[in-house]
Structure 1
Amino acid sequence: MTQNLPNTAPTSNNSTRKVTLLGLGAMGSAFARAWLAAGYEVTVWNRTPPRATALGEEGAKVAASVADAVAAGPLIVTVLLDDASVTSVLDGVDLTGKDLVDLTTGTPESARARARWAAERGARFADGGIMAVPPMVGIPEAGGYVFYSGSQELFDEHHATLAVPLGTRFVGTDAGFASLHDIALLSGMYGMFAGITHAFALIRGEQDIKPSEFAPLLAGWLGAMSGMVHDTAARLESGDYATGVASNLAMQTAGVPTFVATAEQYGVSTELLSPLFALMERQVAAGGGAMDTAALVDPLRT
């Protein structure tokens, strides 16, 4: 179950106000500065020293080695390039009794493997999926947050610290769930980007239609259509794809030639929309013409 917690919360003792951060790219540095601004004792390490040195000038403790950084406190946060980097950086380091939070972008399965890896080394583990960009870190009103999954005990013990840079949402004890939520939301975003890109490509061929004038229409239309997210969820849970459908797949598929012809007339590739149209046509051919688009979800799974 998702657990939403505030960006700030009281801490009970000095040990909870210590955090070690490994990896000081744009996101890692933003996290470090947020903790420093909140009065935390932050120990940092980075493969290239200059970034750590810069944070040292702002109050962070710069560790000479990864082992020294890990030894500095109970909570270790990694924001590295990839999963392989986490392995190489922590290889041979004593993690006994430590709490490891990995905010490095990875797959659900790599997070589950990392949880097992941490357990073998005597550490509790939580994975994180960051739903924000660096400028949003440390600014509650920006609305950014991090999905966390894995050890509930780790999350509960350190949530005050974790909630300082960004909001927190615990999505389950399966370590892979944070990454899964992250990638699922971003996948929805990229699908939206595809539609937006195709729409602007169409109007780009008309000098009398300014993108800045078209943009409010597109934004308003997408906002109005966003309610389908909740309808899709309800249909997936009920298994009813045909009751009360306003525009079924047969109706929508009948309009596909018009979309294709319009794109051809304006010299616009249909490569961003064709996969969706093909999926719709397959479902109609399989007898699902009376169904809602929610019926496309399961056939998409391989």
Structure 2
Amino acid sequence: MSDNTVTPLAPLTLLGTGAMGTALARTWLAAGHPLTVWNRTPSRAEALAAEGATVAASAAEAVAASRLVVTCLLDDDSVGETLDGVDLTGRDLVNLTTGTPADGRSRAAWAEARGARFLDGGIMAVPPMIGAPRSGAYVFYSGSAELFEEHRETLAVPAGTTYVGADPGFAALCDVALLSGMYGMFAGVTHAFALIRGEDIEPKEFAPLLVSWLTAMAQSAYGTADRLQSGDYRTGVVSNLAMQVAGKATLLRTAEEQGVDPDLLTPFMTLMERRLADGHGDEDTTGLVELLAPGKD
């Protein structure tokens, strides 16, 4: 005889049903997980009740309903306020609220002092990507490795999971590091489109050229990582700092001719000039990291 017993899916609690919280909740409900939700404004949880969620009257009631408790609130202060006075003994607290590395570390100590295991998370997605196949959504996790392994399957339902270490601050750090790189790219894209504005160049025709170029140039991050790891900023350099600083005049003069404000370019160029003036003309731009983070190995 075969055993057709179906193992029930793990129940969990979600605190916070804003846009991201609602997207998370719907994927867990769709997958069959028993879900208890709470929101400071109860009306925002009504739609989830219609989809099968249990709506708790208080945060304390919601936390008492499940061992696994996920927070997706406005900010770190909101987490503290929501869970103030709530018994966390024996709970596994997974914080998906956007915060800083220091927030993650202090919240981990706060949770552990209250008898809970803690995992911090950084969501690399916007709400429409959550639960969408092949969207590329994933979440950085850091903190208790035991908690992560125990709940990995449940946490992987809304988005992919990437565990980045026992330090509770690492999820937020990786999150913000990637977002910072993204905004640097956005700055370049903005400047590029500003240069062609008003010319007989269609933005939709220019966009594929820009995407192709940025995709190719993004591979340089691997070389930067290798040089930072080895401490050798000179070997294999193709376009050195001296060459790049010499070429900046053309970039700035073109911006002037096109009537484009160079403010998105000049901070990076200033860093290149400083590094060159310190005698590092045969390096690439890797050494600029030392100007931004002096004294850190």
Give TM class, smaller chain. over 0.9
Aligned to 1:194: 187
The answer to whether the 8 A contact 1:249-1:292 is kept is yes
Superposed CA RMSD in Å reads: 1.0
Q: Which amino acid aligns with 1:33?
A: R
Determine the structure 2 residue equivalent to 1:156. Answer: 149
Aligned to 1:4: none
Which 4+ stretches in 1 moved above 6 angstroms? none
TM-score if structure 1 supplies the norm length? Answer: 0.94
Give 1:238's match in structure 2, choosing from 226, 230, 249.
230
- Which of 45, 52, 71 is 2:64 aligned to? 71
1:1-302 paired onto structure 2 within 5 Å:
14=8, 17-206=10-199, 208-302=200-294
Provide the C-alpha distance between the structure 2 equivalents of 1:31 and 1:17, rounded to a whole number of angstroms: 15
Q: 1-side partners of 2:61 and 2:23: how far apart?
A: 22
Aligned mates of 1:65, 1:240 — CA distance in 2: 57
Gaps of 5+ in 1: 1-11
Q: CA deviation at 1:140?
A: 3.2
1:272-293 Cα offsets, whole Å, 9 max, x none, are 1111000000000000111011
Question: AA paired with 1:262?
Answer: T
User: What displacement does 1:13 show?
Assistant: 5.2
Q: Is the 8 A contact 1:34 1:165 kept in 2?
A: yes
Tell me how far apart the structure 1 counterparts of residues 266 and 111 of structure 2 sit (CA, whole Å): 43
Q: State the AA in 1 paired with 2:58.
A: S
Q: What do the CA deviations read for 1:105-143 (whole angstroms, capped 9, x no partner)?
A: 000011000000001100000000000111111123111
- What secondary structure is seen at the aligned counterpart in 1 of 2:205? helix
| Aligned residue type for 1:282 | R
Count of paired positions: 289
SS at match of 1:101: strand
- Counterpart of 1:5? none
SS in 2 for 1:146: strand
Query: Which is further off, 292-301 or 41-50?
Result: 292-301
* 1:205 positional shift: 2.8
Task: Give, in whole Å, the separation in 1 of the partners of 2:80 and 2:7.
Answer: 31
Q: Using the aligned pairs only, state the percent identity.
A: 66
- For residues 232 and 105 of structure 1, the distance between their equivalents in structure 2, rounded to whole angstroms, comes to 28
Instruction: For 2:115 and 2:107, locate their aligned partners in 1 and report how far apart those are by CA, in whole Å.
Output: 12
Larger relative contact order (CA 8 Å, sep ≥ 6): 1
Cα distance, 1:56 vs. partner? 0.4
SS in 2 for 1:34: helix
Structure-2 separation of matches of 1:154 and 1:13: 20
Output the TM-score relative to the length of structure 2.
0.96
Q: Distance in 2 between matches of 1:211 and 1:129?
A: 33
Structure 1 Cα separation of the partners of residues 210 and 239 of structure 2: 20
Structure 1 residue identity aligned to 2:222: H
Q: Is the 8 A contact 1:140 1:167 kept in 2?
A: no
**Aligned-residue offset at 1:243:** 1.3
**Matched position secondary structure for 1:95:** coil
Q: Distance in 2 between matches of 1:73 and 1:300?
A: 44
- Structure 1 Cα separation of the partners of residues 132 and 221 of structure 2: 28
Q: Which residue pairs with 2:3 in the alignment? A: none
Superimposed CA distance per residue, residues 56-114 of structure 1 (whole angstroms, 9 cap, x where no aligned partner): 01100000111100000100000000000000000000000000000000000110000
Deviations 1:190-209 (A, max 9, x none): 10000000000000031x11
The gaps in structure 2 that reach 5 residues or longer are 1-5
Matched-pair contact (CA < 8 Å) for 1:108–1:179:
yes
Moved more, 274-283 or 222-231: 222-231
What is the CA–CA distance in structure 2 between the aligned matches of 1:236 and 1:63, rounded to whole Å? 50
